[in-house]
Amino acid sequence: MFTKTVLGNRLRVITEESPHFHAAAVGIWLCAGSRDETAGECGLTHFLEHMAFKGTSRRSALDIAREIDQVGGACNAFTGKEQTVFHGKVLAAQLPRLVDLLSDMVLHPLYAPGDLEKERQVILEEIYAQEDNPEDLVQVQFARNFWGDNPFGRPILGVKEQIARVQREDVLAFRGAVYRPEHIVIAAAGRVKHQELVDLVASHFHEFHNGAPARPQEPAATHPGVWSFPRDLEQVQLCLGVQGPAAGDPRRFAATLLHILLGGNMSSRLFQVIREQLGLAYSIYSHLSFFSDIGSLGIAAGVSPKNLEALLEAVWGELKRLKAEAVPAAELHGAKEYLQGAIYLNAEDCDHLMMRLAKNEIHFGDYIPLEDIVAGLMAVTAEEIQEVARELLQPERWGMALLGPMEGQKVQLDF
């Protein structure tokens, strides 16, 4: 059963009660992500997330770590392009303790100077680790070039030079600008009583206000092209992508099926042709993301330099085929069955239910039953998929980043 309450400061509390669960999952969703940063603030959203674990007015960093372990479940946080989320899953009896802990971390972090210096080094190590991972680094390089000098294209972790200069005043000023009660959704799913959660949340957040004007979000822009980044590696890592439909776009169902058919699972065309039939790559897949006003569809792979040309020719062939030919009925039915199974199986996990609940509220302002999502996918026709393919799979709209041994390699988008 879904229930929603809006507090006096416009913070939203939403729940989906499922008494058959023994556990409950809760998330504090702050609609503040790396897209809310200016060029001089790159990485501050992620820095705020890290610093929440370093201590509050009531708990030290060790207290927080011990309490996370003592509740016997899971507790973590993540930063994205449009949200920062503090979340956890515990046995239902421990939910009040988890809400108290997460609320304290969000509302009362100390940002002690000494802790800030230590966490600065941790984040720098995280950036170094990303730079040492070619599969991650090619994604960062693609975003920087395809989305350009725009918050959407800057790395969520930040850049080393700016992280090295961050001061406590910068963190406090940014927090004051982007943490706002009307932009917070607190979602819970599983064995949870709605009014009990509302009372818990209200006891912590009722005095939280932000009277400063909200920041306008800068629209994203794309800059198609091909970019090579020579590096001494065994493989060439490549990332291709295009702007796709937003979360609320009616085409999202057709785009989702296009992604699954293209490279979303083991029976997808890219996996079957490039790995199983041609043996050109160990890993190749497509990925699809939805945001408030835009989306992104991409392809990623790692390949030996000698096989790069053959791999790209095979990819171009599959993209051309999706535009030129309607998907056969049996293949479309299989993709729909895959998605239906994934949706209902994920619904067996209250943590996943909580995240779906929050995303629906953020993007649609409402609850969307699983049956409606499945019905939307089942209604997609082969003609609708082909129409979306013809719109999205236009080479002049795409970007491609390649990282690795590029000597003598000449590549272009040709589909």
Please identify every residue annotated as catalytic: 49
* 257 within 8 A of 336, measured Cβ to Cβ: yes
Q: How many CB atoms lie within 10 A of CB 195?
A: 11
Query: Exposed/middle/buried for 266, CB within 10 Å: 0-12, 13-18, 19+?
Result: exposed
- Which residue in 181, 200, 247 sits closest to 32, CA to CA? 181
Bridge-based pairing of strands 225-230 and 399-404 is: parallel
Residue 218 is encoded by which pair of tokens?
Answer: 């800068």
> How far is C-alpha 356 from the geometric centre of its chain's CA atoms?
12
The terminus-to-terminus CA distance of the chain in angstroms comes to 47
**Phi–psi pair at 145, nearest 5 degrees:** -90, -40
